[in-house]
Amino acid sequence: MTPFVAFGYQKVKADKHKLEIDPVAGSVVQDIFKMKLQGMSQDAIANRLNELGVLSPFEYKISSGSHYETGFRQKEQALWSSVTVRRILENEVYIGNLVQGKRTTPNHKVKQSYVKPEDDWIRIEKNHEPLVSERDFEIVQRLLGMDTRTSPDQKQVYLLSGIAVCADCGAPMTRKVSTVAGKKYAYYLCSTNKETKRCSSHRIPEKDLENVVLVMLKQHIQNIMHLKRVLEFIGTVPFQEINVKKLQDRLEKKKMETERCKELRMMLYSDMKEGIVSKEDYVELHAAYGKRLRNAEESIRAIQKEMDNMLEKADASNTWLDYFVKYQDIEVLTRTVIVELIREIRVHDKKNIEIIFDFNDCYQALLTQLPAMGVEVAADPDNNLQVKIKEVV
């Protein structure tokens, strides 16, 4: 209903109440999200867009013939700023959600508006075609909450910025460069130790830490690929999932109940014809069997719907495996890979590194569920999974 839509979208000409992707502005929005995932700060993204001569949202609206006005214009030409970039990165509209009713006024006499509590906002999910995936949007929101800064001569944050933390105090590990005999050596150390000395340094060379992370990541991806192959094999057996099998058993019992009700009604008619039951009893019993039959048929429909939902959810619940599998040939760490697959890297010391991978709860839950499906799972000393299928029911 608003006169101006979010940058990246335009109103459908045939229906002004619907949104469609603006090919030009939409590609800029997608580039902004990509640059953020690659490790660029909001300032660096804004500077890059200005260097390339990309029109800011305000200038783009003006060039499109819009009479859009804003109080943020300070120069003859409105340029990209870190504030503008952040607003785009935080806007749910780019995953297809329409959020309205964020601001209101106390009453019709007061013009000054205020932001309403988020619970009172009107949110319509999957309202229009998204420009970015929910997965990328979620990762970007996580990155926006991190304290990651770039050095003056860098446009991108370091590979492990905001991800590597001290295992003892939880503070971020800070990258530092020392020069010895004319050679520069980069290493990470606990930021608490650097500032107050209240924690040990946990000092570790940058390359050593990155090499360990790469090895552990490759190992985890291999483990996930083993699990994916097992799930694909098990998935060829109908109703292998334990909960679905239980529903299948209930479904069979309800189907038997409906057949039994139909048989009893037929027998009841024969009994009335032969005078075994009176007409009054026949009417009463026929109605009772009919009600029982309808209840059983309704239960069958409910069970079938529950089974469909469970199978659909089971398929969707394992999509996280593919996030790792697509990097099965990884040989070099990149910022994008790290933020996609790793939540946190806890540094205890040079020889003790702990990695919390994304979807770790899903991974652990899957390992717990496999034995009930007839699959033995064990890890060797190097933490490589050994999988053996005992039986298929």
Q: Same domain for 135 and 248?
A: no
Q: Which residue has the tokens 């009600």?
A: 291
Buried b (16+ CB within 10 A) or exposed e, 149-179: ebeeeebebbbbbbbbbbbbeebbbbbeeee
The reported pLDDT for the residue numbered 66 is 59
Domain count, the chain: 2
Full residue range of the structural domain in which residue 83 is found: 9-144
Let me know if residue 200 belongs to a domain: no
Q: Same domain for 137 and 253?
A: no
- CB-side exposure of 62: number of CA atoms within 13 Å? 12
The reported pLDDT for the residue numbered 31 is 97
Domain end, chosen from 144, 165, 190, is at 144
Let me know if residue 65 belongs to a domain: yes
CA distance 352 to 360: 19
The reported pLDDT for the residue numbered 316 is 55
CA distance 131 to 128: 9
Let me know if residue 208 belongs to a domain: no
Let me know if residue 237 belongs to a domain: no
Q: Same domain for 14 and 130?
A: yes
The reported pLDDT for the residue numbered 166 is 94
Let me know if residue 246 belongs to a domain: yes
Please tell me the pTM assigned to this model. Answer: 0.70
**Nearest C-alpha neighbor of 198 from the set 226, 220, 166:** 166
- Mean pLDDT in consecutive groups of 10 residues from the start of the chain, 393 residues: 81 87 95 94 93 93 66 66 94 90 72 77 87 94 79 76 93 89 90 89 93 94 88 58 72 89 85 84 86 88 79 65 93 93 93 92 84 74 68 42
Q: Same domain for 16 and 135?
A: yes
Asked if 263 and 269 touch (Cβ cutoff 8 Å), the reply is: no
CA distance 275 to 143: 81
Let me know if residue 168 belongs to a domain: no
Q: Which residue has the tokens 């340029």?
A: 79
CATH of the domain at 125: 3.90.1750.20
Let me know if residue 186 belongs to a domain: no
Let me know if residue 216 belongs to a domain: no
Q: Same domain for 27 and 133?
A: yes
Domain end, chosen from 91, 109, 144, is at 144
The reported pLDDT for the residue numbered 147 is 60
The reported pLDDT for the residue numbered 285 is 85
136 CB burial (10 A radius; 0-12, 13-18, 19+): buried
Domain end, chosen from 253, 281, 314, is at 314
DSSP 75: S
CA distance 222 to 323: 13
